[in-house]
Chain A
Amino acid sequence: MSARFRVSRSARGEVESHFDDFDVELESGATVLDALLQIKRRHDPSLVVRHSCMHASCGTCGVRVNGREVLACDTKVAWLPAGKPIEVEPLANQRLVADLATDMVDFYARYEPVGMPLVRGAGVKAEVDAGIELPEGVKSFGRFENCIECGLCLSACPVARTSGEFIGPAALAAAARVVAEPRGRELAPVLALAAEPDSVWRCRDAMACTAVCPSAVDPARALSTLRRHVAANGLKRFLGRGA
């Protein structure tokens, strides 16, 4: 299988980017990441691209392919329209390192304050409730959260495109997750964060986040749930009973 890749290039600190074309020969099941790594190996070792786990678990290889946010490791070249160049660009609404690599600093500046732990238990709570016996010494089955912190949702979000201050879908989905399963955590700071002007009320329900999420987090739905909590809490506060 041969394909032409049109890859966005820019050195660190450059404002302008340009495209370089590469013709690659791939095996039938190859992913976009396989193609990018082959370009690095055979054509241009200077190509800057992030990757780590190769199985949609680490969230580092997010790019835009033909204008759509995807994980490069999770996108087969055979799925893409044949006969025209495959355009690969870095994620939008984030600072660029170079070429296809974005700097996740701004993403985490919004995501981290929500304080969602990496490992939670609710994903398997139903099984535990159903009477499944836990291994001796294990209090509840731990489970990594679905969100892989890839930033695809922030790149696809139309609000984030025009408002750099918007906290964004991933952070709000994380906040909704904490509200859904507080595990003894004080919710007031999380709800306060969600109630800020650049938070839940900025979302216009474009649903782009949910459409591109590679990990079934469904930020759009989480956000609308969170909005109801924020509204209810605002009303309770007005009546003197809120968090």
Chain B
Amino acid sequence: MTVEPGARVDAPEPLTRVDAPEPSAPESGAPHVLIIGGGGTGGALAHDLTLRGLRVTVVERGEITSGTTGRHHGLLHSGARYATTDRASAVDCSAENKILRRICPGSFEENDGLYVAITDEDAAYEKEFLDGCWQSAVPAKRVEREAALRMEPGLNAAMQFAVQVPDATMDAMRVPLRFFATARRHGAEIKPFTEVIALTMAGRTVGGVKVRDHAAGRDYEIGADIVVNAAGPWVGKVAALAGVNVPVVASPGVMVAVRGRHCNMVVSRLHSPADGDIVLPQRALTVVGTSSWIADDPDDLRVPADHVEMVVRESAALVPAIARAEIRAVWAAARPLIGEVGGKKRRSPRRVARADAAGHGAGEAATGPGAGSGAGPATEPAGRNLAREMRCFDHATDAAPIEGFVTVAGGKATTLRAMAEATADVICAKLGLVRPCQTVDYVLLPHTAWYSE
């Protein structure tokens, strides 16, 4: 199926289909939203807000997607990974997986994923896993050993069986570029190599930013009606410019790319989320991951050597060829996770707008049994096992309120559109605007459009 960019695809029920006129560049009098951070969230938010008729500027201190977004391993989650531990995230992923395939046609290797049972302990986890998938509206089906080995001859022959789910792989940079390209086509200004050095404040109201254009070597100010902090693991640093504390920690994980394409499907271990339990094809490479620790500085991510060994060893239990393959690259990406380090739960009283599946388009899009009941409160963040949920903080409701300043954090690459929708809802409410989200069925421009003049 060829879908023209900008076309509105027919969304299956119960997705809402919005028949809005093609957006033109927003009127000069429209409210101006300035987004700090050119990652997936910033791009998706710029797209969402331009479709709602707002003026948008994105500033990014480096190249677009140079923070956490581009370093992502490239999994389009089916939701299965979180089905037993984090129902809200699982439901979100299940819905967004379907939406992204529709609005980014041609951007995914739609080869599905296999959760592989190797030990008896893995096998015993099957029932809980399938039940979690069912509750989260994630299609999941048991595949017997022989069939699984025919699909993926590289699997560990000692496997017992597998569960097939609609995982897919994406190009971690090129999917977000489609959001940026489409936003720019609709009038958004996207400014890479432009770093925020201060927030311009009038009393307790943020009125814009002062930026340094590294490419031109000059500083200047940009005024805005609302400033959105979408800086991923750097949100804490940006929030501190306004004297605000945001409970987000940088939790890096190690990934390893080895030469050779050792599988076509996403291969995961059938057990609770753990280290070193995923293998993905990425062009002629195979990417394996991952681990998790807490970093003080998301700019200084030194890769621990023992993490590399562990990730290779554990993933070779799924696809044995990994153990013999030449390592091409080793890197770390800092996840921005909601919570505090060391179980010291300083749950912010400032949190007001919880941007999870419940009550938003993303959650409503979920179908199947349990979709409603599954969208309850996410698990409490604690220690290393912080939830992958997303949150939007309106700092006007802080104990020491700051007006005109919103932070969005958490989430995953798969849920970028839903994060943007929830954040744009908060922004529109703050501006007193009633404008529904239109991104659910809006087909994005191809990534190549980002580079057109």
- Mark A residues whose CB is within 8 Å of B: 11-13, 27, 29, 31, 37, 41, 45-58, 60, 73-74, 97-99, 101, 104-105, 107-109, 111-112, 117-119, 123-124, 127, 132-138, 141-146, 148, 215-216
- Mark B residues whose CB is within 8 Å of A: 62-66, 69-71, 74, 106-112, 141, 143, 147, 150-151, 153, 164, 169, 171-174, 193, 195, 212-217, 255, 257, 261, 264-265, 281-285, 287, 299-300, 302, 328-331, 333, 446-448, 451-453
Contact B112 A144 (CB under 8 A): no
26 contacts between A and B (CB under 8 A): A12-B213, A12-B216, A31-B329, A41-B300, A48-B214, A49-B62, A50-B62, A51-B63, A52-B172, A55-B329, A57-B172, A57-B285, A58-B172, A60-B63, A101-B215, A109-B452, A111-B448, A112-B452, A123-B284, A136-B141, A141-B265, A142-B110, A144-B171, A144-B283, A148-B283, A216-B284
Task: Report the minimum CB–CB distance from A57 to chain B (whole Å).
Answer: 6
Q: Tell me whether A136 and B63 are in contact in the complex, defined as CB-CB below 8 angstroms, given that A55-B329, A98-B216, A119-B108 are known contacts.
A: no
Contact A135 B265 (CB under 8 A): yes
Smallest CB-CB A-B distances: 9 pairs: A52-B70, A54-B331, A55-B329, A98-B215, A108-B451, A133-B150, A55-B257, A142-B109, A50-B63
B302 proximity list for chain A (CB < 8 A):
27
A144 proximity list for chain B (CB < 8 A):
109, 169, 171, 282-283
Taken together as a complex, chains A and B put the C-alpha atoms of A88 and B287 apart, in Å, by 28
Across the interface, name the chain A residue whose C-beta is closest to B448: A112
Contact A143 B300 (CB under 8 A): no
Taken together as a complex, chains A and B put the C-alpha atoms of A97 and B192 apart, in Å, by 10
Task: Report the minimum CB–CB distance from A119 to chain B (whole Å).
Answer: 6
Known: A45-B195, A73-B329. 20 other contacts (CB 8 A): A11-B216, A11-B217, A12-B217, A13-B216, A41-B300, A50-B63, A51-B62, A52-B63, A52-B65, A53-B172, A54-B70, A54-B333, A55-B285, A98-B193, A118-B447, A127-B264, A141-B111, A142-B110, A144-B109, A146-B284
Most buried by B among A56, A97, A144: A144
Most buried by A among B111, B195, B330: B111
Taken together as a complex, chains A and B put the C-alpha atoms of A109 and B452 apart, in Å, by 7
A27 proximity list for chain B (CB < 8 A):
302
Taken together as a complex, chains A and B put the C-alpha atoms of A37 and B302 apart, in Å, by 12
Across the interface, name the chain B residue whose C-beta is closest to A147: B283
Contact B153 A132 (CB under 8 A): yes
Contact B264 A141 (CB under 8 A): yes
Task: Report the minimum CB–CB distance from B95 to chain A (whole Å).
Answer: 18
Q: Tell me whether A118 and B174 are in contact in the complex, defined as CB-CB below 8 angstroms, given that A27-B302, A105-B453, A135-B111 are known contacts.
A: yes
A48 proximity list for chain B (CB < 8 A):
193, 214-215
Taken together as a complex, chains A and B put the C-alpha atoms of A29 and B254 apart, in Å, by 15
Task: Report the minimum CB–CB distance from B301 to chain A (whole Å).
Answer: 10
Across the interface, name the chain A residue whose C-beta is closest to B195: A45
Task: Report the minimum CB–CB distance from B195 to chain A (whole Å).
Answer: 8
Contact A118 B106 (CB under 8 A): yes
Taken together as a complex, chains A and B put the C-alpha atoms of A105 and B264 apart, in Å, by 32
Contact A57 B66 (CB under 8 A): no
Taken together as a complex, chains A and B put the C-alpha atoms of A54 and B70 apart, in Å, by 8
Taken together as a complex, chains A and B put the C-alpha atoms of A56 and B70 apart, in Å, by 11
B287 proximity list for chain A (CB < 8 A):
55
State which of B65, B164, B215 has its C-beta within 8 Å of the C-beta of A135: B164
A13 proximity list for chain B (CB < 8 A):
216
Taken together as a complex, chains A and B put the C-alpha atoms of A55 and B172 apart, in Å, by 11
A119 proximity list for chain B (CB < 8 A):
106-109
A142 proximity list for chain B (CB < 8 A):
108-111
Taken together as a complex, chains A and B put the C-alpha atoms of A53 and B74 apart, in Å, by 10
Task: Report the minimum CB–CB distance from A35 to chain B (whole Å).
Answer: 14
Contact B448 A57 (CB under 8 A): no
Task: Report the minimum CB–CB distance from A155 to chain B (whole Å).
Answer: 16
Task: Report the minimum CB–CB distance from B344 to chain A (whole Å).
Answer: 28
Contact A135 B284 (CB under 8 A): no
B285 proximity list for chain A (CB < 8 A):
55-57
Across the interface, name the chain A residue whose C-beta is closest to B174: A118
Task: Report the minimum CB–CB distance from A43 to chain B (whole Å).
Answer: 13
Q: Tell me whether A58 and B284 are in contact in the complex, defined as CB-CB below 8 angstroms, given that A12-B216, A51-B62, A136-B141 are known contacts.
A: no
Taken together as a complex, chains A and B put the C-alpha atoms of A50 and B302 apart, in Å, by 20
Q: Tell me whether A46 and B452 are in contact in the complex, defined as CB-CB below 8 angstroms, given that A29-B330, A133-B150 are known contacts.
A: no
Q: Tell me whether A12 and B70 are in contact in the complex, defined as CB-CB below 8 angstroms, given that A53-B172, A58-B172, A108-B452 are known contacts.
A: no
Contact B452 A105 (CB under 8 A): yes
B108 proximity list for chain A (CB < 8 A):
119, 142
Task: Report the minimum CB–CB distance from A13 to chain B (whole Å).
Answer: 7
Contact A143 B281 (CB under 8 A): yes
A51 proximity list for chain B (CB < 8 A):
62-63, 66, 70
Taken together as a complex, chains A and B put the C-alpha atoms of A12 and B330 apart, in Å, by 32
Contact A74 B328 (CB under 8 A): yes
Task: Report the minimum CB–CB distance from B137 to chain A (whole Å).
Answer: 16
Contact A145 B193 (CB under 8 A): no
Contact A124 B264 (CB under 8 A): yes
B164 proximity list for chain A (CB < 8 A):
135-136
Taken together as a complex, chains A and B put the C-alpha atoms of A133 and B367 apart, in Å, by 29
A57 proximity list for chain B (CB < 8 A):
74, 171-172, 257, 282-283, 285
B71 proximity list for chain A (CB < 8 A):
52-54
Taken together as a complex, chains A and B put the C-alpha atoms of A112 and B281 apart, in Å, by 25
